[in-house]
Structure 1
């Protein structure tokens, strides 16, 4: 039988590069599409010589022609530092990019997975967050380009499914971490690890009591693959993340201990619209995908710290 070809947009990014690697191990042909706005060739350099791997430098806000069997749409800056740097292009990537990829999926009659985000819930008024919750999002704030862009992308996916019959899979990814995160991406795990390894003050915004849930990259990749393997009757959205919840102070203390750092904790004002609590209810994913995270925070942080220690 002909090998299936999988298109991964944002394949040079943190999650995308791990997904490309896993797909190659499972004997798929992989086409990686990235404009390298936040992705890096270093993330996929070890794949460039693989006979089943192809790299296309392309921005999905422009139409793309390809012959593939499935699409993982992961393209979009995902950290506040990067998506706020060019908010107009962030919104275009979410919305116009979704239209272009959905059009390709419609033409080829293939399944397409959308990597949405926990940011669609905004600063939630319910806890933990379930998929039925419609969110509490500021539509004109500094984070809106990403939050509302991803919400609009979900709308497009479900409308293409209802109106055109496209086989869609929508997942809402909560905080994910691991090797190949960018040192300067502004996310809390990479920030704390880099500051600790350099012996710098660890910057905590607010009083440090705000919470997040952290999923290790290997667990997330497994969830994405299980979602794509579902039949056309399964659309989502599904929350994907680790429901174990930690305060920023707990995270900082753990990273200081694991790195043996002498860093001090310093406090700064909380950024605008920054969520106070974030924890996924993953009941749907557990029941339908038979998935739940296997790697605890301390184990995953040790692997992530070893990676950053090697690249800094």
Structure 2
């Protein structure tokens, strides 16, 4: 009977052991690095969420302060008009009131809401509908922020004291620009870089465009990642971006999606290096073990050599 070659069995065992060690190294290192990537992205998501919330709260405070100031001015005009009703029919008197409160224009309506007196020749048009709906309430005063030819304006509506009607006053203020800047989140991601080649972004869920992106050139452009990936059930997934595999972790914030994206190559860079080293070392150790065992077998088989 032909004797089996013991070296084949030894080499096979060593190769299996090397494969197992390499696989365990590959898997365990990958788990650790993916966990670290999740933690890093979560930290950035937390900071961005806090920044957006902080900006929103600051904007609300500024808006309330600005509007309260202009509402007070509008009430003063209503009181002045009630004490001298004839002044509203005098263009010069009405213009002096406008200048005194630093307004863009003053419009005064009749009981139907139609503008009867104006510093900007709006006679015949109507005041804002929300003001008309409440002009019977003599204590009514409200501020709204509107856009007019690309600029933001504050429009104050206050009920006339002398008779039923609305005094509508329009203001333009530098504070509005400050207010808008707090709502502008296009610059938020620039404050939170993500490792070497990762990125952070904010998506508008309705238009599915970038509201903000680490690469500012992509702001206001369409999102290339499939929308169904952000299904709200799993908060991380793999996808392909510009031909590269990427890991994305996200969260839903009101009508926005905030996410962080890292290339898989960057996440698992250490894993790949460690796996190669483990594979090489395992093969070297296996080879050495085979040689040592071979010598031991030879010594036992030929003790006189």
State the TM-score bracket (shorter-chain normalisation): under 0.3
Higher relative contact order (CA 8 A, sep 6+): 2
User: Which TM-score applies when normalising by structure 1?
Assistant: 0.24
The structure with more strand, counted as a fraction of residues:
2
The structure with more helix, counted as a fraction of residues:
2
